[in-house]
Amino acid sequence: MTIRRRRRREEAFRALCWVAVYLPLALLALLLAHALVEGLPRLGSAFVSDFPSASPERAGILPAIAGSLYVLSLAGVIAVPLGVGAAIYLEEYAPARWSHLVEMNLAQLAGLPSVLYGLLGLGVFVHVMGMGTTAISGALTLAMLVLPLVITTTREALRDVPGASREAALALGATRWETVRQVVLPVAWPRITTGVVQALARALGETAPLIMVGALAYVSFLPDGMSSPYTVLPVQIFHWVTRDGFVPNAAAGVLVLLSATLALNVLAVLLRQRLERVEAERQEVLP
Amino acid sequence: MKATTDASASHDEPVVVLPPSAPLTASARGTGERLIEALLTSCGLLSLAMTAGLILTLLAETIAFFDDVSPGAFFGGFEWAPRLAHQQFGVWPLVTGTLLTTAVAMAIAIPAGLLAAIYLGEFASVTTRRWLKPALQVLAGVPTIVFGYFALVVVTPALQTVMANLSGFNALSAGGVIGIMLIPMIFSLSADAISAVPADLREGALALGADRLTTIFRVLLPAASRGIGASILLALGRALGETMIVAIAAGHQARLTADPTVPIETMTGYMLQVASSGVRAETVEYRTIFAVGALLFAFTLVMNVLAYRLQRRLRQEAVA
Amino acid sequence: MRRRFFFVSCLALTGLSLANSGCGTARGADASEVVAIDGSSTVAPLLEAAAESFGARQRARITLNISGTTGGFAKLCRGEANVIGASRPLLETEMDDCKRRGVEVIELPIAVDGITVAVHASNDWVDALSLPELRKLWSAEATGTIRTWRDLRPSFPDREIHLFATGGMESGTYRTFVDRVLDGGGSRSDFTRSENDHLLVEGVARDRDALGIFGFSYYAQHSEQLRAVPIIASGGAVPVRPSPETIASGDYRPLSRPLFLYVNRASADLPPVKAFVQHVLEHAPALVTGANSVALPPAAYPLVRQRFEQRRTGSLFTSLAPAGTRILQVLEGDDRRQR
Q: What is the pLDDT of residues A237-268, one digit of tens each?
A: 999 998 878 999 999 999 999 999 999 999 98
pLDDT exceeds cutoff 90 at C329: no
pLDDT exceeds cutoff 90 at C179: no
CA distance C8 to chain B (A): 21
Please tell me if the domain spanning C30-112+257-338 has the same topology as the one spanning C116-249: yes
Residue B15 located in a structural domain: no
Using a CB-CB cut-off of 8 Å, the residues of chain B touching A151 are: 47
Model pLDDT for residues A52-109, shown as the tens digit of each residue: 888 888 889 999 999 999 999 999 999 999 999 888 888 888 787 877 888 888 888 8
CA distance B79 to chain C (A): 8
Domains held by chain A: number: 1
Give the CATH number, domain containing residue B129: 1.10.3720.10
**What span, in angstroms and rounded, lies between the C-alpha atoms of C162 and C208?**
9
Burial of A86 (C-beta count, 10 Å sphere; 0-12/13-18/19+): buried
Let me know how long chain C is: 339
- HEC sequence for chain B: CCCCCCCCCCCCCCCCCCCCCCCCCHHHHHHHHHHHHHHHHHHHCHHHHHHHHHHHHHHHHHHHHHHHCCHHHHHHCCCEECCCCCCEECCHHHHHHHHHHHHHHHHHHHHHHHHHHHHHHHHCCHHHHHHHHHHHHHHHHCCHHHHHHHHHHHHHHHHHHHCCCCCCCCHHHHHHHHHHHHHHHHHHHHHHHHHCCCHHHHHHHHHCCCCHHHHHHHHHHHHCHHHHHHHHHHHHHHHHHCCHHHHHHCCCCCCCCCCCCCCCCCHHHHHHHHHCCCCCCCCHHHHHHHHHHHHHHHHHHHHHHHHHHHHHHHHHHHHC
The CA angle C243-C139-C253, to the nearest 5 degrees, is 25
Return the amino acid letter for C87. Answer: S
pLDDT exceeds cutoff 90 at C250: no
C173 near C293, Cβ under 8 Å?
Answer: no
Q: What is the pLDDT of residue C3?
A: 55
Domain span holding position B103: 93-319
Say whether A134 and C28 touch across the interface (CB within 8 A): yes
**At B12, phi and psi to the nearest 5?**
-95, 135
Quote the pTM value.
0.89
CB-closest option in C167, C178, C190 to B255: C190
Chains in touch with A (3+ beta-carbon pairs under 8 Å) read: B, C
Return the amino acid letter for B178. Answer: I
Model pLDDT for residues C116-153, shown as the tens digit of each residue: 999 999 999 999 999 999 999 999 888 888 989 999 99
The CA angle C157-C159-C161, to the nearest 5 degrees, is 115
Q: What is the pLDDT of residue A72?
A: 95
**What span, in angstroms and rounded, lies between the C-alpha atoms of C37 and C85?**
8
Segment A181-201 mean pLDDT: 89
Residue A102 located in a structural domain: yes
Domain ranges of chain C: 30-112+257-338, 116-249
pLDDT band at B15 (very low <50, low <70, confident <90, very high): low
**Contact pairs from chain A to chain C, CB under 8 Å:** 106
Q: Does B261 contact C at CB distance below 8 Å?
A: no
Give me the CATH topology for the region C116-249.
D-Maltodextrin-Binding Protein; domain 2 (3.40.190)
Give the CATH number, domain containing residue A105: 1.10.3720.10
Question: Which one is predicted more confidently, A81 or B44?
Answer: A81
Segment A174-202 mean pLDDT: 87
Omega before A223 cis (within 30°)?
no
Q: What is the DSSP string of C258-290?
A: EEEEEEETTGGGSHHHHHHHHHHHHTHHHHHHH
| Three-state secondary structure call for residue C256 | strand
Say whether A227 and C222 touch across the interface (CB within 8 A): no
**What span, in angstroms and rounded, lies between the C-alpha atoms of A185 and A193?**
11
Using a CB-CB cut-off of 8 Å, the residues of chain C touching A58 are: 52
Non-local CB neighbours of B102 within 8 Å, separated by 6+ positions: B175, B178, B236, B239, B240
Question: Which one is predicted more confidently, A238 or C8?
Answer: A238
pLDDT exceeds cutoff 50 at B22: no
Q: What is the pLDDT of residue C60?
A: 83
Say whether B253 and C206 touch across the interface (CB within 8 A): no
Segment C150-177 mean pLDDT: 89
**What span, in angstroms and rounded, lies between the C-alpha atoms of B223 and A57?**
57
Q: What is the pLDDT of residue B218?
A: 86
pLDDT exceeds cutoff 90 at A6: no
Q: What is the pLDDT of residue B25?
A: 44
pLDDT exceeds cutoff 90 at A176: no
Model pLDDT for residues A107-135, shown as the tens digit of each residue: 888 889 999 999 999 999 998 898 888 99
pLDDT band at B320 (very low <50, low <70, confident <90, very high): low
Q: Does C222 contact A at CB distance below 8 Å?
A: yes
Domains held by chain B: number: 1
Using a CB-CB cut-off of 8 Å, the residues of chain B touching A143 are: none
User: Which strands make up the sheet holding C116-120, listed edge to edge?
Assistant: C192-193, C162-165, C210-214, C116-120, C226-228
Domain span holding position A89: 62-285
Q: List the CATH code of the domain at C30-112+257-338.
A: 3.40.190.10
First to last CA, chain A: 70
**Longest Cα pair distance anywhere in chain A, in angstroms?**
75
CB-closest option in B84, B251, B253 to C168: B84
**What span, in angstroms and rounded, lies between the C-alpha atoms of C208 and C94?**
40
Q: What is the pLDDT of residue B17?
A: 54
Residue B280 located in a structural domain: yes
Say whether B54 and A116 touch across the interface (CB within 8 A): yes
pLDDT exceeds cutoff 60 at B1: no
Residue B16's region, left for phi above 0, alpha for psi from -120 to 50, else beta, is beta
Non-local CB neighbours of B110 within 8 Å, separated by 6+ positions: B186, B232, B235
Lowest average pLDDT, out of A30-39, A137-146, C92-101, goes to C92-101
Q: What is the pLDDT of residue B7?
A: 42
pLDDT exceeds cutoff 80 at C209: yes
Question: Which one is predicted more confidently, C31 or B143?
Answer: B143
Q: Does C129 contact A at CB distance below 8 Å?
A: no
Q: What is the pLDDT of residue B219?
A: 87
Residue A188 located in a structural domain: yes
Q: Does C75 contact B at CB distance below 8 Å?
A: yes
**What span, in angstroms and rounded, lies between the C-alpha atoms of B182 and B232?**
9
Segment B165-189 mean pLDDT: 94
